């Protein structure tokens, strides 16, 4: 179990090995992708003295985090798929398993977004948002009006992790010696060794039965 967890966590070592590349990727992929919500927070909190929760509430009402998360996961899967087409890739099995797992959050994210937008069409009430803005400006309580979609925020967190992990898988080929334990050839040798051990054990049991 410890070996399995170690192999799962090992790709994150790329962040340490590729600090500059990771910073640029984070800047242009994550920060730039969330530029709208970030500016909204800065504008409301920094200039209008409105709570950050109101900005998150506004973006969650629009489904911003759902759309960004779906695009982020799809982009991560697409990048890994392109890597799999390269014959020199040394970590195809790891990437293939990860892509298979990513299909599920991508699929459910689409379902949640579709359900969310349908509910918004049914219960849309613009006056509620205007009222919450005016009450915030007058320093009155807005807890009853502001309800952040935590499912949407959790899905965003999952998408961010998937995207970071996909980045790490993508750049493992730059330092293959650092990830020897999860290289395809290493795993093949390990599986062959286990198969030989199992066959040897089966042969010993058969020999024992004959002797008896």
Comparison of pLDDT for 80 and 202, the residue scoring more: 80
Predicted TM-score of the model (pTM): 0.77
Percent of the chain with pLDDT over 90: 36
C-alpha–C-alpha distance, residues 70 and 79, integer Å: 14
Flag whether pLDDT at 33 surpasses 80. Answer: yes
Flag whether pLDDT at 70 surpasses 90. Answer: yes
Contact 70, 106 (CB under 8 A): yes
The predicted structure's pLDDT at residue 7: 87
Percent of the chain with pLDDT over 70: 75
Q: Alpha-carbon dihedral of residues 154, 155, 157, 163, nearest 10 degrees?
A: 170
Closest CA to 165 of 111, 109, 101, 112: 101
The 10s digit of each residue's pLDDT in 154-206 is 999 999 999 999 999 999 988 888 888 888 877 666 665 555 555 555 555 55
Average pLDDT for 50-79: 88
Comparison of pLDDT for 119 and 70, the residue scoring more: 70
The predicted structure's pLDDT at residue 139: 44
The predicted structure's pLDDT at residue 61: 83
C-alpha–C-alpha distance, residues 182 and 10, integer Å: 8
Alpha helices in 142-183 (DSSP H): 150-170
Closest CA to 95 of 162, 169, 178: 169
């Amino acid at each position: 179990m410890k070996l399995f967890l170690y192999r799962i966590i090992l790709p994150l070592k790329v962040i340490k090995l590729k600090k500059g590349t990771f910073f640029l990727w984070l800047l242009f992929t994550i920060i730039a992708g969330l530029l709208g919500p970030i500016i909204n927070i800065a504008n409301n909190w920094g200039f209008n003295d409105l709570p950050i929760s109101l900005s998150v509430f506004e973006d969650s009402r629009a489904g911003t985090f759902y759309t960004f998360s779906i695009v982020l996961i799809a982009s991560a899967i697409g990048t890994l798929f392109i890597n799999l087409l390269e014959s020199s890739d040394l970590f195809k099995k790891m990437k293939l398993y990860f892509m298979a797992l990513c299909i599920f959050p991508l699929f459910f994210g689409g379902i949640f977004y579709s359900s969310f937008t349908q509910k918004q069409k049914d219960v849309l009430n613009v006056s509620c948002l205007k009222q919450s803005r005016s009450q915030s400006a007058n320093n009155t309580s807005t807890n009853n009006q502001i309800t952040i979609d935590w499912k949407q925020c959790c899905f965003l967190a999952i998408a961010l992790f998937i995207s970071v992990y996909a980045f790490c898988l993508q750049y493992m080929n730059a330092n293959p010696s650092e990830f020897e334990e999860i290289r395809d050839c290493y795993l093949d040798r390990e599986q062959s060794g286990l198969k030989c051990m199992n066959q040897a054990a089966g042969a010993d049991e058969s020999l024992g039965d004959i002797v008896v």
